[in-house]
């Protein structure tokens, strides 16, 4: 048996202008990794490598070249895949400088082992009998656009809403939070906010005090990543629980992960497998967080349904009751049609629906 890997580039087009504190997103480039045996070409594993521009450590001009080199090395090794040897292959095949490639290959290999059925982790979610609670995401934009998104999420049955903040006037953002609280108590609707590092350290205390008045569950990354002393102080005194996000990126060694969390000791961490090196690295973050009494949840990083499906199946393997950040499957005009569905604030894998990968084939000319 000779396993071969190749990849397909795909540009995802947003249905709307997705605003963050780092700018407005209209499209996202991603890569689908395919692993197959030339003797059975119709059975293949798929994974997704999709670094985020301006955020991932592997957002670099030679990313595609590096991905090609990893495929060539994989193809030269005449590998056999087993559950136990995938971590070994990943550690020796792919540098820690490329967490998105690690995630893509990891999930493609697990998919191949499970028969190329887009099953990464076999559990009740992938069998269609378990749902995952998720938060409804409100992107940055004008007050009117954010209010419209709020109404859509509240009307769609979400009981946890996450608002991106830091782009429009802070008073207007507080008005939006006050609007939600005028209709729903903290027991009825949980509010999360994500600043993406937008607060200046000298203003953070005042803004956090204002946010606390709205019964906020947590704030992701209130100040810019890399300010560990300042973030540790903020976590100790903030009236709103702090969740680390961007600060986790780039810490690939177990010892570094432990030192970071022990030093800052946030109330929560937010795990994005594409940015952190895949499931095995998230396993390490979760083990350390549990040991230190730190809460966590898992969030997609704007992947297509290929990556989102893998993250959802992985997430479902934990007994974590917190709503997860897995509602990004509806962002794109040209996403991959999949069995993933959302209803009343829950993500579900509809085992009666098929994957439709013709979108990729039509755009690339490569039959998958």
pLDDT for 46-85, tens place per residue? 999 999 998 999 999 999 999 999 999 999 998 999 999 9
Residue 130 designated active-site? no
**pLDDT of the residue at 337:** 94
| Size of the chain, expressed as the number of residues it contains | 368
Residues 110, 139 within the same domain: no
Report which secondary-structure segment, H or E, holds 348: strand 346-349
100 Rama class: left (phi>0) / alpha (psi -120 to 50) / beta: alpha
Asked if the structure places residue 127 within a domain, the reply is no
**pLDDT of the residue at 42:** 86
> Strand, helix or coil at 367?
coil
Q: How confident is the model at residue 23 (pLDDT cuts 50, 70, 90)?
A: low
Residue 353 designated active-site? no
Residues of the domain holding 106: 3-118+358-364
Inform me whether the pLDDT recorded for 168 exceeds 90.
Answer: no
**pLDDT of the residue at 367:** 46
Asked if the structure places residue 124 within a domain, the reply is no
**pLDDT of the residue at 363:** 45
Asked if the structure places residue 246 within a domain, the reply is yes
Asked if the structure places residue 157 within a domain, the reply is yes
CB atoms within 10 A of CB 306: 27
- Look over the chain and give the mean of its residue pLDDT values, rounded to a whole number: 92
Please state, in angstroms and rounded to a whole number, the distance separating the CA atoms of residues 31 and 101.
9
Q: Are 347 and 314 in contact (CB under 8 A)?
A: no
- Sheet containing 132-133, strands listed edge to edge, beginning at the edge strand earlier in sequence: 132-133, 346-349, 340-343
Could you tell me what percent of the chain has a pLDDT over 90? 81
Write the CA distances from 3 to 79, 92, 105, integer angstroms: 6, 17, 13
Tens-place pLDDT, residues 189-219: 999 999 999 999 999 999 999 999 999 999 9
Evaluate the CA torsion angle 56, 61, 65, 68 in order and state its sign. positive
Tens-place pLDDT, residues 223-257: 999 999 999 999 999 999 999 999 999 999 999 99
**pLDDT of the residue at 20:** 60
Q: How confident is the model at residue 366 (pLDDT cuts 50, 70, 90)?
A: very low
Q: How confident is the model at residue 360 (pLDDT cuts 50, 70, 90)?
A: low
CA atoms within 13 A on the CB side of 129: 4
Residues 238, 154 within the same domain: yes
The tokens describing 170, both together, are: 């802070």
Inform me whether the pLDDT recorded for 368 exceeds 50.
Answer: no
Inform me whether the pLDDT recorded for 284 exceeds 90.
Answer: yes
Q: Which of 272, 319, 353, 356 is catalytic?
A: 272
Asked if the structure places residue 126 within a domain, the reply is no
Tens-place pLDDT, residues 110-140: 999 999 999 999 999 999 999 999 999 988 8
Please state, in angstroms and rounded to a whole number, the distance separating the CA atoms of residues 342 and 347.
5
Inform me whether the pLDDT recorded for 99 exceeds 60.
Answer: yes
Inform me whether the pLDDT recorded for 40 exceeds 70.
Answer: yes
* DSSP sequence for 143-212: HHHHHHHHHHHHHTT-SEEEEE-SSS-HHHHHHHHHHHHHH--TTT-EEEEE-TTBB-HHHHHHHHHHHH
What φ, ψ does residue 65 adopt, rounded to 5°?
-65, -40
Residues 105, 143 within the same domain: no
Q: Are 237 and 205 in contact (CB under 8 A)?
A: yes
Residues 161, 71 within the same domain: no
Residues 113, 136 within the same domain: no
Domain count, the chain: 2
**pLDDT of the residue at 359:** 52
Asked if the structure places residue 125 within a domain, the reply is no
CB atoms within 10 A of CB 173: 23
Residues 239, 141 within the same domain: yes
Residues 162, 301 within the same domain: yes
Residues 226, 314 within the same domain: yes
Residues 171, 275 within the same domain: yes
Mean pLDDT, to the nearest integer, of 258-267? 98
Please state, in angstroms and rounded to a whole number, the distance separating the CA atoms of residues 221 and 75.
40
Burial class (CB within 10 angstroms; exposed 0-12, middle 13-18, buried 19+) of 88: exposed
Residues 70, 168 within the same domain: no
Residues 180, 326 within the same domain: yes
Residues 307, 199 within the same domain: yes
Asked if the structure places residue 123 within a domain, the reply is no
Which range is most confident: 17-26, 140-149, 332-341? 332-341
Query: Where is pLDDT greater, at 146 or 57?
Result: 57
Please state, in angstroms and rounded to a whole number, the distance separating the CA atoms of residues 318 and 322.
11
CATH (domain of 104)? 3.30.390.10
**pLDDT of the residue at 252:** 97
Please state, in angstroms and rounded to a whole number, the distance separating the CA atoms of residues 51 and 9.
12
Q: Are 100 and 303 in contact (CB under 8 A)?
A: no
Report which secondary-structure segment, H or E, holds 297: strand 295-298
CATH (domain of 158)? 3.20.20.120
Asked if the structure places residue 38 within a domain, the reply is yes
Q: Which of 28, 153, 162, 164 is catalytic?
A: 164
């Amino acid at each position: 048996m000779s396993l071969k890997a190749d990849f397909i580039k795909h540009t995802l087009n947003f249905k709307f202008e997705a605003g963050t504190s780092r700018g407005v997103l209209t499209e996202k480039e991603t890569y689908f990794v395919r692993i197959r045996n030339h003797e059975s070409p119709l059975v293949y594993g798929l994974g997704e490598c999709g670094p985020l521009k301006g955020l991932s450590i592997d957002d670099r001009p030679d990313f595609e070249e590096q991905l090609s080199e990893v495929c060539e090395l994989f193809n030269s090794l005449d590998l056999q895949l087993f559950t136990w040897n995938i971590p070994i292959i990943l550690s020796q095949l792919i540098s820690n400088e490329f967490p998105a490639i690690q995630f893509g290959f990891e999930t493609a290999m697990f998919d191949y082992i499970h028969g190329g059925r887009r099953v990464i982790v076999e559990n009740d979610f992938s069998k269609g009998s378990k749902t995952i609670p998720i938060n409804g995401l409100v992107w940055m934009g004008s007050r009117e656009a954010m209010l419209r998104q709020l109404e859509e999420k509240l009307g769609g049955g979400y009981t946890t809403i996450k608002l991106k903040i830091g782009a429009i006037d802070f008073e207007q953002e507080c008005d939006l939070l006050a609007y939600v609280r005028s209709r729903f108590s903290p027991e009825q609707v949980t509010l999360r906010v994500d600043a993406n590092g937008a607060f200046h350290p000298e203003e953070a205390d005042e803004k956090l005090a204002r946010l606390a008045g709205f019964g906020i569950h947590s704030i992701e990354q209130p100040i810019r990543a890399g300010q560990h002393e300042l973030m540790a102080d903020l976590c100790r005194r903030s009236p709103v629980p702090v969740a680390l996000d961007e600060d986790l990126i780039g810490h690939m060694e177990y010892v570094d992960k432990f030192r970071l969390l022990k030093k800052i000791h946030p109330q929560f961490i937010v795990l994005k497998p594409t940015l952190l090196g895949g499931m095995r690295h998230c396993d390490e973050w979760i083990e350390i967080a549990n040991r230190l009494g730190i809460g966590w949840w898992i969030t997609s990083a704007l992947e297509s349904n290929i990556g989102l499906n893998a993250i959802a199946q992985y997430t479902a393997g934990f007994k974590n009751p917190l709503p997860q950040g897995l509602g990004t499957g509806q962002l794109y005009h040209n996403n991959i049609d999949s069995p993933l569905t959302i209803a009343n604030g829950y993500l579900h894998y509809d085992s009666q629906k098929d994957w439709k990968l013709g979108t990729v084939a039509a755009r690339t000319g490569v039959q998958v």
